[in-house]
């Protein structure tokens, strides 16, 4: 039993009389408690992620305080999001860890971000071993909640973080976050990860026109331009468009039937779930099955690093080069501005050809 005391004043006196509530300044309530045996079995010896879940007012925050004090973060109004981290590498790693991959938003101050972006930015600065995070996903769309949960689980495993505890009133994140243990304040029961599996995600890749680019253009990390001769696809999850891919024919005297990636964008709410690499590979496979070769070139670190480690991609002769060969093109079909050229100049770029798993030699 927990008892708290407040100072009596005219308002508390009037309210207690109005509702005929006998009040002397003290209230007592039963705070939830994880059973001793379950705590010894699943918690005291260490874990990666724990989750306290239950309806509002059920004592989640009180119980969470047993694991630590939530870190408070302050955002400077005149500084970009990325400027609040130790260095550029730290900013990229931690923001990506929570599925916040929209580069233009990284360069904005905190107060102009959307609720979903603010939620992810706060998490990026709080997430570390022995951290506690209250009201997890309470203020964001449920798609953002699922995507962020997936990204966090991956990051915690990759960095081998320990004893991270979340509290939330939403039960729908459990299967996406994959916590080692869950305590339900409503039932008083502890459940463990066991053989629980994350729900299967099925993306449909549908052909589309460049008109669909209007939904995605503001979220590309370098440019909102698109070549009108692009061959395009939409990635759809259920009935929701989540990603876009545009591709161009690659004319060359030495290459026949070759294509290259032109634009790939996943909407911010769905970043962190691996949709970008999956869509890229699905489109590449379409070209490969049609007897064509497929090439990509990107300056995006996460996408490039994934392809570096994947057996489905092979680095080309220009892989990991600093690009200095972008030329101004002013034709009607391909309008690159000087500003875009300068963005690319001296950037480290990843260049790969998609070969698919069947093309790899057996070991």
pLDDT at 327 over 70: no
Does residue 308 share a domain with residue 296?
Answer: yes
Number of domains forming the structure of the chain? 3
pLDDT one-digit tens code per residue, 340-355: 444 445 567 899 999 9
Domain match, 25 and 35 both: no
pTM of the model as a whole: 0.74
**155 and 64 assigned to the same domain:** yes
Q: What is the domain range of residue 13?
A: 1-30
> Domain containing 76 — which CATH number?
3.40.50.300
- Say if residue 334's pLDDT is above 80: no
Same domain, 157 and 263: no
pLDDT digits (tens, 9 = 90+) for 145-161: 888 899 899 899 999 99
Classify residue 321: in a domain, yes or no.
Answer: yes
Both structure tokens of 28? 């007592």
pLDDT for the residue numbered 63: 93
Q: Residue range 79-103: average pLDDT? A: 90
Residue 291 burial by CB count (10 A; 0-12/13-18/19+): exposed, middle or buried? exposed
**184 in the same domain as 37:** yes
pLDDT reading at 232 higher than 60:
yes
Per-residue confidence (pLDDT) for residue 347, from 0 to 100: 66
Average confidence (pLDDT) over 81-104: 90
Instruction: Give yes or no for a contact between 278 and 299, defined as CB atoms under 8 angstroms apart.
Output: no
Query: Which pLDDT band holds residue 333 (cuts at 50, 70, 90)?
Result: very low
Residue 324 binned pLDDT confidence (cut-offs 50, 70, 90): low
* Mean pLDDT confidence for 35-53: 88
Q: Which of 192, 195, 148, 200 is nearest to 170 (CA)?
A: 148
pLDDT for residue 339 is more than 60 = no
197 in a structural domain: no
Q: Is residue 154 part of a domain?
A: yes
Work out the mean pLDDT of the chain and round it to a whole number.
86
Give the separation between CA 87 and CA 363, rounded to whole angstroms.
40
Q: Is residue 295 over pLDDT 60?
A: yes
Q: What is the mean pLDDT of residues 130-136?
A: 94
Degrees, nearest 5: CA angle 314-320-325: 110
């Amino acid at each position: 039993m927990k008892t708290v005391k407040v100072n009596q004043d005219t308002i508390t006196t009037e309210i207690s009389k109005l509702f005929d509530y006998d009040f002397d300044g003290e209230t007592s309530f039963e705070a939830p408690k994880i059973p001793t045996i379950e705590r010894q079995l699943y918690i005291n010896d260490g874990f990666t992620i724990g989750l306290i879940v239950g309806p509002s007012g059920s004592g989640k925050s009180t119980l969470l305080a047993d694991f630590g004090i939530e870190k408070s973060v302050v955002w400077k109004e005149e500084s970009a999001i990325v400027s609040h981290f130790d260095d550029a590498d730290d900013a990229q790693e931690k923001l990506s860890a929570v599925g916040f991959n929209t580069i233009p938003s990284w360069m904005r101050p905190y107060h102009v971000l959307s609720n979903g972006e603010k939620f992810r930015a706060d998490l990026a600065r709080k997430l570390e071993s022995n951290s506690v995070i209250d009201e997890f996903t309470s203020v964001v769309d449920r798609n953002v909640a699922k995507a962020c949960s997936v990204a966090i689980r991956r990051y915690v495993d990759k960095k081998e973080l320990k004893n991270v505890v979340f509290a939330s009133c939403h039960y729908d994140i459990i299967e996406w976050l994959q916590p080692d243990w869950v305590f339900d304040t409503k039932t008083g029961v502890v459940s463990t990860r066991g053989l629980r599996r994350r729900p299967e995600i099925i993306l449909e890749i549908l052909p589309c026109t460049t008109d669909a680019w209007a939904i995605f253009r503001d979220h590309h990390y370098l440019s909102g331009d698109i070549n009108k001769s692009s061959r395009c696809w939409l990635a759809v999850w259920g009935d929701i468009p989540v990603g876009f891919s545009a591709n161009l024919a690659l004319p060359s005297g030495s290459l026949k039937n070759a294509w290259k990636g032109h634009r790939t964008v996943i909407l911010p709410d769905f970043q962190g779930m691996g949709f970008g690499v999956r869509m890229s590979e699905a489109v590449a496979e379409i070209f490969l099955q049609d007897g064509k070769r497929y090439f990509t070139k990107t300056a995006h670190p996460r996408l490039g690093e994934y392809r570096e480690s994947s057996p489905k991609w092979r680095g080309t002769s220009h892989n990991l080069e600093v690009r200095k060969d972008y030329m101004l093109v002013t034709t009607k079909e391909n309008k690159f501005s000087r500003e875009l050229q300068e963005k690319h100049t001296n950037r480290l770029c990843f260049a790969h050809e998609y070969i698919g798993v069947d093309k790899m030699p057996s070991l």
